Amino acid sequence: MDVFNIAKSIEKLIFELLMWLIFYPYTLLRVIVQPGRMMDYARTETLRDENVSFDSGMKPSIFLFLSIVIAAYIAPVTKADLADASDTLTGQYVTASWLNLIIFRMVIYSIFPITSALIYDLITPGRVTRLTLQIPFNQQCYICAPFAMITSLSIVLFPHTENPVFAALFLAAQLWLLFSNFSFFRTQGQQSGWKAAGLTTVSFFVAWSVFLSVTIIALRYKGIAPST
């Protein structure tokens, strides 16, 4: 066992966690206030060397992941909800642990950035590849992180509290994402105002349709029980 390498790894882990504490709120504030500028930043940084990219902000995928984790920590799912969801085989796996639930949320909320990124890539010249999706996906992860956090909090808290504040926050998150995506297609995609509005609407409803379908099938549809 190489004790020196283990110590160096722990040192790097501690430093990285401290950087998250500093740069997460900084990145969140910048994304909320200046989504267009942060999408430009994501484009520029994605094209840089991986070892030095995003040195003044969170990496987009980690930023989205942490936003989902924070929402799950602030508003955990109740035992009654977990019991209801565990009626299906997928639900049993998802509710088996907090980590499984986080992974499931990450998967379903990633539908929003990948949908808009894919639509963007389809309307631009050239084939759709992993490399061509990387820039728009990183840009979308930035603007989808605050949306995912607020939406997740609202969906969990409103049914139990019926507090209109959470309904208002949910609506605000949807409108903010629509505005940010309009800017994305208008400036990053260089589309006209009407076409950007149409692409924004399509991506929004397609993402929500897939999101709800996956959630319902995974946690509500019981299907046929396997033989034992």
What is the DSSP annotation of the chain? --HHHHHHHHHHHHHHHHHHHHHHHHHHHHHHH-HHHHHHHHHHHHTS-TTTTTTTS--HHHHHHHHHHHHHHHSPPPHHHHHHHTTSHHHHHHTT-HHHHHHHHHHHHTHHHHHHHHHHHHHSSS---HHHHHHHHHHHHHHHHHHHHHHHHHHHHHHHH--HHHHHHHHHHHHHHHHHHHHIIIIIS---HHHHHHHHHHHHHHHHHHHHHHHHHHHT----PPP-
pTM: 0.87
Instruction: Please give the residue range of the domain that contains residue 33.
Output: 3-219
Note the pLDDT of residue 82. 65
**All residues at 6 or more sequence positions from 181 whose CB lies less than 8 Å from its CB, including other chains:** 116, 143, 199, 200, 203, 204
Specify the number of domains making up the chain.
1
Q: Which of 126-130, 155-159, 189-193, 204-208 has the highest mean pLDDT?
A: 204-208
| Helices 130-161 & 60-74 angle (0-180, nearest 10) | 10
| 31-35, 161-165, 177-181: the lowest-pLDDT one | 161-165
Reported as a single tens digit per residue, the pLDDT across 152-169 is: 999 888 877 778 888 999
Predicted confidence (pLDDT) at residue 67 exceeds the cutoff of 60 = yes
| 1-15, 23-37, 38-52, 135-149: the lowest-pLDDT one | 1-15
Q: Could you tell me which residue, 124 or 147, shows the higher pLDDT?
A: 147
Q: Could you tell me which residue, 94 or 147, shows the higher pLDDT?
A: 147
Note the pLDDT of residue 225. 37
Note the pLDDT of residue 190. 83
Query: Do the domain assignments include residue 226?
Result: no
Note the pLDDT of residue 224. 40
Query: Do the domain assignments include residue 191?
Result: yes
Query: Do the domain assignments include residue 224?
Result: no
Query: Do the domain assignments include residue 14?
Result: yes
Mean pLDDT for the chain? 85
Predicted confidence (pLDDT) at residue 70 exceeds the cutoff of 60 = yes
Query: Do the domain assignments include residue 28?
Result: yes
Query: Do the domain assignments include residue 174?
Result: yes
Predicted confidence (pLDDT) at residue 228 exceeds the cutoff of 70 = no
**Predicted confidence band at 211 (pLDDT cuts at 50, 70, 90)?**
very high
Query: Do the domain assignments include residue 228?
Result: no
Note the pLDDT of residue 50. 80
Tokens representing residue 26 in the block: 């900084």
Query: Do the domain assignments include residue 84?
Result: yes
